[in-house]
Amino acid sequence: MASSDASGLVGRRVVLGISGGIAAYKAIEVCRRLVDAGAHVAPVMTAGAEHFVGRTTFSALGSEPVQTSLWDGPNPIPHTSLGQTADVILVAPATARVLAAYAAGLSTDLLTNTLLATRAPVIVCPAMHTEMWEHPAVQANVATLRARGVHVVEPESGRLAGGDVGAGRLASPEAIVAAVERVLGGGRFAGLHVVVSAGGTREPIDAVRVIANRSSGKQGYAIAAEALARGASVTLVTTVDLPVPHGAAVRSVETAAQMQEAMQELAADADVVVMAAAVADFRPVRAATGKIKKDGGVPEIVLEPTPDILAGLGATKPVGQILVGFAAETSDLVANARAKLERKRLDLIVANDVAAPGVGFQHDTNAVTILGRGALQCTVPLADKRTVAVAVLDIVSQLRAETSTFDPSPHHRSLTP
């Protein structure tokens, strides 16, 4: 279901950095696909890359001759011309050295100089052996780059050089080109207000105790970060204090009632609403004002249902708004999620089997089935939560494009670019 329409690439200037790894041969295919899709590709190779592929290949397939050096070409300052004129800089493959230099702000060659001399969005596609990819130094550099807004196309697991199998293989050319298209197509969410809920609510029992759940907020934050990367203005309604994705507005809440109040207010004029939060289904009817003493015996806590925030949003949804829920299930994933989609009047539901390894609460990864009205159904196998966010927002984009063709309401017209 992910968008594969590459029309957003026509006439866009892509600086393609190729660094020295065996996966450099796959950058040939990336280059060809970008050019076929109408992009202007300016290839830049590091000295390491030239051990794996020849300059001639990229000069022949790119839109201009390959550049390799700060010193040898006719332009005395090639890195600034490359950096200033780029619509996007794509580094594929990105080696541990290039990631480290970029994270540290080191300009050691034409590619790393160009990365520092640009205000264009940057996409890095790491590729290396599993041991290197999982090394804390490499992971820390990737985290630093992500926190600065650099887009990371995660490596895949599979066969590596030398016959080893593991994480670290360069993402597929399709995935890399889709990432470029997504980053350049950020305008598709420009002007949209996206409201995302994240984290688990906490319902007070007394002054110190709460009914809580295991939600870390990671999935909601990943959706917020992806919506921001696509140019949306984003409000996060959150119960957790993870680092806020740059540019997001934040409403901190704790209980289901507080989350309901914030969501109802913000959703009234939102274009896209995503309920990734895990809302408590029950809360104590009355919270004790002080701390319940142990020596008073085991207390009887009477529970009542919390309001169903999402069902309320579904009942009052403005025309043209896309409303996305999540479903945390441990059995009958699709049937249970579809029932929630219908009952809560959603456009999409993202179902995760939270009993499966690596899926759902607290993990950095998730695996989901995304269901829409009618036959729409798409599965995202176990992947990092940002990848799940990408898939969800690709489908949201698609739904918006479809509804804009027949919905003539004033609200919707105002959403259509």
Q: Which residues are catalytic?
A: 213
Cβ(396)–Cβ(348) under 8 Å? yes
What residues form DSSP beta bridges with 196? 236, 274
DSSP conformation class of 162? G
- Distance separating the N- and C-terminal Cα atoms of the chain: 22
Give the residue with the Cβ less far from ligand PMT, 133 or 326. 326
Please tell me whether residue 117 binds ligand PMT under the rule CB under 6 A: no
H or E stretch at 282: strand 282-284
Whole-number minimum distance, CB 184 to ligand PMT, in Å?
A: 28
Give the residue with the Cβ less far from ligand PMT, 208 or 339. 339
- Interface region with ligand PMT, contact rule CB under 6 A, candidates 12-20, 177-185, 209-217, 264-272: 209-217
Cβ(306)–Cβ(279) under 8 Å? yes
Please tell me whether residue 19 binds ligand PMT under the rule CB under 6 A: no
Give the residue with the Cβ less far from ligand PMT, 61 or 348. 348
Whole-number minimum distance, CB 365 to ligand PMT, in Å?
A: 10
Please tell me whether residue 367 binds ligand PMT under the rule CB under 6 A: no
Interface with ligand PMT (CB under 6 A), residue from 360, 372, 386, 396: 360
SS3 of 134, please?
Answer: helix
Give the residue with the Cβ less far from ligand PMT, 276 or 380. 276
Give the residue with the Cβ less far from ligand PMT, 284 or 360. 360
Contacts of 294 (CB under 8 A, 6+ apart): none
Cβ(187)–Cβ(417) under 8 Å? yes
Please tell me whether residue 323 binds ligand PMT under the rule CB under 6 A: no
Cα dist. 141→102, 145, 160 in Å? 8, 6, 22
Please tell me whether residue 327 binds ligand PMT under the rule CB under 6 A: yes
Whole-number minimum distance, CB 311 to ligand PMT, in Å?
A: 7
Whole-number minimum distance, CB 264 to ligand PMT, in Å?
A: 11
DSSP conformation class of 278? B
Please tell me whether residue 122 binds ligand PMT under the rule CB under 6 A: no
Of 245, 250, 249, 16, the C-alpha closest to 148 is: 245
Number of Cβ within a 10 Å radius of residue 243: 8
Interface residues toward ligand PMT, by CB under 6 A = 215-219, 256, 275-279, 281, 306, 308-310, 325-328, 340, 352, 354, 360-362
